Structure 1
Amino acid sequence: MVAFAGTSCARSSTIFRFQGASMRVSGQLAVIVVLGAAGFGGWYAYQGGHLAKAPVIGSYFAGSAQQATAPGQGRRGGATAPATVEVDTVKTGRVVEVRESVGTVRAFESITVTARIAGIINEIRFEEGQNVKSGDVLVQLDADERRAEIEQAIAEANRALALKNEISIKLDRAMTLNRTGAGTGAQVEDLTAQVKSLDGSLASAHAQRKAAEARLEELTIRAPFAGRVGTRSVSLGAYISPGTRITSLDDLSRIRLDFSVPENLLGRLKTGQTVNATSAAYQGRTFKGIVSTLDTRVDQATRTIRLTAEFQNPDEALKPGMFLSVGLEVTTKDDAILIPEEAIVSEGLRQIVYPVKDNKIERRVIRIGQRQGGKVEVLEGLQPGESIVVLGVQRVRAGAEVVARPVGSPPPAPPVPAANREQPSRSSLNVPQAIGSALAAERR
């Protein structure tokens, strides 16, 4: 009896648990059915346009629909709008092939002023840094001894001349007596020989005078050309020997610039080519000159050839010994095809551009030359007048359709949706603002 009662209780407990589980499952199914019905009803209302008629929610759905169908976005799975790119026309211009180098400045004419003979400095007739003309006296050495030699040579010449005149008179008298028979021929011959000897003495005296005058001139040190003198190395009264430095003299109105270029340019080098030089001492200033001399030999160690360029230097800004950066204009082309650097896409060793024709993209391989001022010379692959993509090359591909507008032009204003034009106040408000407005209206 007890066992039967226990079994009955166990069965009752099992039935209660089964019923409880059945009720929970039924509740969950009911919730799912309700949510499904609500979702279906909302979808049906949206598809039928009933939500658009609501005063608050309708404006939100209308704005969402307009944003979903905005230009350039498209719906999921639909075709995307053409990309907008900026294009430019291929033009021609001047391109200069420039080769870089470095050079050293030297004066157009430059010497170290020295003395040819020994002597004592009697006068210094220049100031340090002074501009002098050709022939100006710089230094005068003591010349008393040389003047004495000149005076002695003059006296010797005068003595020989006076003696010659005296002998000449005797010769004329002897010749007269000889014609009358009172004189002898031997006397005439003797006097004639004396006159010839005195002629030699007179010539020697004149030569000695000229030599003394030349030695006197060597004691006067003059400027051989116009220029500017440097610092002096001697003082008044100093004894100098031949070769002693007195000062320097440089013609700085023009300067020479020596620089070297590789020998592979030898076939394109010539005198008269333009040279642009810059110095760290004068930021932003460019000095222009021309090639005046090409060396006759190529340096075997560096395989370069030396060139000399001449520059006008009226303000003497360039000094001998300065270091300059040099740009040699090797060739000049006035009708080169030029495109912006931004239009070129590098793929390995190839250069790619994207021409635009009838709003369709082409892909073309080109060969480039010189780069200059943000422009690139095109040697092959493009013709003047063609349009190419400059900005937006990453968004295009061959055969794609694009919307092209000139480079640098302002982008077009986006179109205003019709709903925004009819109800500007609602379209400019977001959802919280619309709900707040609706609640305020209800309260009124």
Structure 2
Amino acid sequence: MRRGAWWRMRRGAWWRGVTALAVATLAWFGLDGNGTAAQAESEVGVRPLVRSAAVRITNGETRYRFPGTVRASERAVPAFLHPGVLRERHVIRGQRVEQGEALATLHNPAMAPARAAADAQVAELDARLRQLGRDVERSRTLRERNLSAVEELDRLTAERDATVQAREQALARRAEAQAQLEELTLRAPFDAEVADLLVEPGEFVSAGQPVLRLAGIGRREVEIDVPAALAGRLETGGAASLIATDSAQRFAGSVRDIGRAGEGLASVIVGVDTDPGPALGESVRVQLAVDERPALQVPLAAVVDPGGYDPHVLVLNDDIVQRVAITPGRLAGSWVTITAPLEPGAQVVTAGQGRLEEGMRVRVLP
């Protein structure tokens, strides 16, 4: 081989080696020759990828639903004041009755004789008063003629006055006996429908024992039990709606009465304002709309360990993870109300929390 050719071959191999070394150096240090861009690009490539959402504040209204059964606003369970045997029942189940209409009759063998004895006593005192009236007039005439003593006139007058008082007492006893006799007939206290029959004719009935049930044919209502905290935010006259369980038909309603809370629950009466409304005994769901106080909300996906002992969220501060403990509240769709030292607009991690630790730097996906 000629010397010139050998030299040219050696020089070409040397240049190829230098060129390869320069390319490797530039790849390591970056195009600017100091390696900063390459290092930054490498660091970004190893950051965990996450998605985030902003904490929001809500102050709208929340709807609560409670089950209930429609009932009449006017209800009664009539009973007799005296014991006895149910002689006759004048109504049947489902019958409509008017106020004052007879419902049932009781037999008490002591009532009729008491009224008869009172009548006899009044009649006896009436006859006695007529006789004393004549005696007083006769004695007064004799006294005017000085044919009788004044003491005799005074005695007859006093006896007549005492008999008048006795007759008043006898009249009161007769009225009482008459009232007790009338109490043996049970009458409707208002226009109603016979909802149930509790005693059959011929059965013995104690004083105060319910005989039947009445449901008024006027207004209707639903009684529900709500938490005490919610009851304190309701107002009488507030709007409500009722949804029939079977047909999903809606009816307008309003809050009529709010009871005191007992053992954490308060009784609330919701009236049915739609006419015609749901049938008596129909199952409904009562919906109450309540204005909520301003509260923080985060996506449910952002809450770590929501049902455990350590619920928290991961907050991003300049792409650095910070762990913040929270107290979860009411769930509304895919968002949950929380109590936490956060501000509206703060970014919380919603995906990729599994491999994150506090203080790590992350890259947020758009």
The alignment's TM-score, normalised by the length of structure 1, stands at: 0.50
Partner of 2:338: 378
C-alpha spacing 1:82/1:235, structure 2 compared with 1 (3 Å) = closer
SS at match of 1:382: coil
Alignment of 1:192 with 2:157, yes or no, is yes
- The reply on whether 1:336 has 2:325 as its aligned counterpart is no
1:355 aligned onto 2:355:
no
Residue identity matched to 2:329 = Q
Cα deviation, 1:6-50, whole Å, max 9, x if unaligned, reads xxxxxxxxxxxxxxxxxxxxxxxxxxxxxxxxxxxxxxxxx9xxx
Q: In the alignment, is the contact (CA less than 8 A) between 1:142 and 1:219 conserved in 2? A: yes
| Map of 1:90 onto structure 2 | 55
- Equivalent position of 1:400 in the other structure: 362
User: What secondary structure does 2:186 align onto?
Assistant: strand
Q: 1:254-333 maps to which residues of 2 (within 5 A)?
A: 254=221, 256=223, 272=232, 292-295=259-262, 305=263, 307-312=265-270, 314=272, 315=278
- Give the RMSD, CA atoms, in angstroms: 5.4
* Equivalent AA in structure 1 for residue 361 of structure 2: G
Q: Which has the larger radius of gyration?
A: 1
- 8 Å contact from structure 1 (residues 352, 366) kept in 2: yes
Instruction: Please give the alpha-carbon distance, in whole angstroms, between the structure 1 residues aligned to 2:189 and 2:55.
Output: 59
Maintained 8 Å contact 1:346/1:352: no
State the alpha-carbon separation in 1 of the partners of residues 331 and 109 from structure 2: 69
The 1:318/1:355 distance shift into structure 2, 3 A limit, reads farther
- Deviation, 1:89, is 2.9
Q: Which amino acid aligns with 2:314?
A: V
Tell me, in whole angstroms, the C-alpha distance in 2 between the residues paired with 1:90 and 1:354: 10
Rounded to whole Å, the distance in 2 between the matches of 1:288 and 1:363 is: 47
Aligned to 2:14: none
- Summarize the Cα distance change of 1:214–1:176 in structure 2 as closer, same or farther, 3 Å threshold: same
SS in structure 2 at match of 1:231: strand
Letter in 2 for 1:220: T
- Residue 138 of structure 1 and its aligned partner are, at CA, apart by 1.6
Whole-Å separation in 2 of the counterparts to 1:340 and 1:285: 33
After superposition, the C-alpha distances for 1:253-302 in whole angstroms (9 at most, x for unaligned) are 4455579x8xxxxxx7596456x9x99x769899997751344xxxxxxx
Separation in 2, partners of 1:198, 1:350: 91
1:367 pairs with 326, 339, 345, which one? Answer: 326
1:172 is displaced (CA, Å) by: 3.1
| Aligned partner letter, 1:121 | R
Q: CA deviation at 1:337?
A: 1.1
Contact 1:273 1:291 in 2 (8 A): no
Q: The residue matched to 1:168 in structure 2 has which SS?
A: helix
3-state SS, counterpart of residue 157 of structure 1: helix
Measure the CA separation in 2 of the matches of 1:306 and 1:367: 25
Counterpart CA distance in 2 for 1:368 and 1:285 is 37
Task: State the partner residue of 1:437.
Answer: none
Q: For residues 365-394 of structure 1, what are the alpha-carbon distances to aligned partners after superposition, in whole Å with 9 as ceiling and x for unaligned? A: 242331412222332242112344434556
Q: Give the Cα separation in 2 of the matches to 1:79 and 1:180.
A: 141
| 8 A contact 1:254–1:310 mirrored in 2 | no
In structure 1, the partner of 2:175 is 210
Which whole-Å CA distance do the structure 1 matches of 2:83 and 2:248 have between them? Answer: 49
- Structure 2: give runs of 5+ residues left out of the alignment: 1-19, 21-40, 235-239, 273-277
Deviation by residue 1:105-157 (Cα, 9 ceiling, x = unmatched): 999887654432324524x3333134556654321346999678656645653
- CA separation of 1:378/1:248 partners in 2, compared to 1, >3 Å: closer, same or farther? closer
Contact 1:338 1:376 in 2 (8 A): yes
Equivalent residues in 2 for 1:166-185, closer than 5 Å: 166-185=131-150
Checking the alignment, whether the CA contact within 8 Å between 1:108 and 1:256 is kept in structure 2 is no
1:160 and 2:125 aligned: yes
Which residue of 2 is the match for residue 139 of structure 1?
104
CA distance in 2, matches of 1:372, 1:93: 12
* Shift in Å, 1:158: 4.7
Question: Shift of the alpha carbon at 1:98?
Answer: 12
Question: What amino acid sits opposite 2:362 in the alignment?
Answer: A
Query: Which structure ranks higher in relative contact order (CA pairs < 8 Å, sequence separation ≥ 6)?
Result: 2
Q: TM-score, normalised by structure 2?
A: 0.59
Asked whether the equivalents of residues 51 and 364 of structure 2 are also in contact (C-alpha less than 8 Å), the reply is no
Q: Amino acid of the residue matched to residue 351 of structure 1? A: H
CA distance in 1, matches of 2:362, 2:203: 92
1:185 Cα deviation from its structure 2 partner: 2.3
- Paired residue for 2:185? 220
How far apart in 1 are the matches of 2:225 and 2:55? 40
